[in-house]
Chains A and B, each alone.
Chain A
Amino acid sequence: MTTRILFNLIQVLVVMGFAPLVSGVTGRLKEIVQSKRGPSMIQPYRDLRKLFQKDEVVSEQSSWIFRFTPYLVFVTPIFVTLLIPVLTSYPLFFAFMGDMLGGGFVLALGGFFATLAAVDTGNPYGPIGASRTRMVGFLAEPVFMIVFFTVSFVAGSTIPYIVQQKWVTPLANFFEPSHVLLMLAFLMLILAEGGRIPVDNPSGHFELAMIDESKVLEYSGRGAALMKWGGQMKFFVLLCIFLNVLVTPWGLAGEQSFAHVLLAIPLILLKIFIFVLVLVVIESSLSKLRLFRITEFLGAAFITSVVAMITRIFAF
């Protein structure tokens, strides 16, 4: 039992440790694709260290929500890490604490408080970004639900570990239409929730066009560091769910030994790196959508997920 708790802790440390690296690699690759040099891949670590050492400036008009939110945004992805398969294919100690829907709710809790905090200060750009995030969020909800329901219907359970074992077991099922379409729908979801092009420009500086970034605008010092880190961890967690549960359930540790679990770390990083390559290609070839076209983008994701559900549930 102690080994299982230990593995869970290792999982959390991996997520906390490597989330900024993923963000740095993505940024660097994007710049390289555009024939620039780009910042170093460990720049996010340096940014976090710098921010932790700085003073915090907090508006007097803000309430406890503003001060409380960075901690919440930092902690919610860690909770979700305890529930999902990151390194191992067998359930760990806290795995049955919540299922995928519970994990989704916990992530949404962090997002909800971030939105509230953005409205809290009275900065005009905060509520703009907050309302846009809410719009993207509520349009993305049905897609999440249908993806999870379809996957659970097939696997007979909503716990991610069990789903992962049953979802793509014979290799032929990789090409099942529901599988491919769910991958497509969830990819569009990651683009929306992670604030990537075509939904939002993560490296943009123009406040009127920001959707996700404007929530971090008011923070400084430790609060900003926690918000940034929490955002990066949330992205890492979404990628883990996508890659380990939906796409490629291989490369995870099958046995309860330290060596296997430690071997799984570079494998998960490799999988994430390949995904980052795909992401960079997508981001570099598309342009940001106009705001009201985002409904059509998420509508397309919805249709894709419903078609996946239809082909799985009705046809066979």
Chain B
Amino acid sequence: MNLNSETVALLGNLNALAGGLFLLCTFGMVATRQVQGCLRLFIAQALFLVLSAFLLSGLLHSRHVFAVGIINLISKPFLVPWLLRRTVRSEVYSRREIDQLINIPASLLIALALAIGGFFLASPLLRVADGPYVAVNLPIGLACLLLGGYTASVRREAVPLLLGLLAMENAAFFAGVAIVPELPLIAELAIAFDVLMLSFIVGLLTRTIHEHIGTTEVGALTALKEETKP
């Protein structure tokens, strides 16, 4: 479909807005205390990814990206939380994480530094880019990848840690919809399936940990070390 330049500008801005809110949701995942809150922010992040995918599929005239949007819409906001709820006992969701490895205001500042670092890392790549939307999606994707990795490193509860890992994958895809609109469909389907399987398996593992150790605070498991035991 042919769009006039004003609509293109508006849709481009909406894509940038989806990107900004995507980044904001990732920051929220770093800082939020509640497990439920982390899950809701993850769902919001996935919805912004889907929005960006749909906008870019129209702007770049790519059916593959549209399929990416559909696949992500089905898997991330619906199937992943459903799988997690089925495998992990529901009482885990009422947990609040009172302390993380680094306290929350310091975490936010470190996350900010990582995000700005991500933007700087992406700038040499942008010189090679030919489309205007790569300049939005790639830096935000790289920044959120770093933020997700940071979340997975400092969080001690099992479910937010897993959500941090899934957020990293969301971020990689957020960059991907702009830089590789022709990704083969089978790769997208397989990656989505892989995410679902990861959620399922990690949910099972969390339940087993909960059953055998009694807590899901996996950051506190530090039994395997080399020092001589007293």
Contact = CB atoms under 8 A, between A and B. Distances in A.
Contacts of B140: 311, 315
A181 interface: yes
B49 interface: no
Given A172-B10, A173-B13, A175-B14, A307 B24 contact: yes
A172 B11 CA distance: 8
Tell me whether chain B's interface is mostly helix, strand or loop, or mixed.
helix
Nearest to A296: B104
Interface string B51-92: 000000000000000000000000000000000000000000
Interface in A291-307: 295-296, 299-300, 302-304, 306-307
Interface string A145-178: 0000000000000000000000000111111111
A101 interface: no
Contacts of B139: 314-315
A178 B13 CA distance: 10
A180 interface: yes
B20 A307 contact: yes
Interface size class of A (residues with CB under 8 A): 20 to 34
Contacts of A176: 13, 16-17
A308 interface: yes
B27 A303 contact: yes
Interface in B75-133: 104-105, 108, 111-112, 115-116, 119-120, 123
Contacts of A303: 24, 27, 31, 108, 111-112
7 contacts: A172-B6, A172-B13, A176-B17, A295-B105, A300-B27, A311-B140, A316-B135
Interface of B: 6, 9-10, 12-14, 16-17, 19-21, 23-24, 27-28, 31, 104-105, 108, 111-112, 115-116, 119-120, 123, 135-136, 139-140
| 6 A-B pairs closest in CB distance | A177-B20, A172-B10, A172-B9, A175-B13, A314-B119, A177-B17
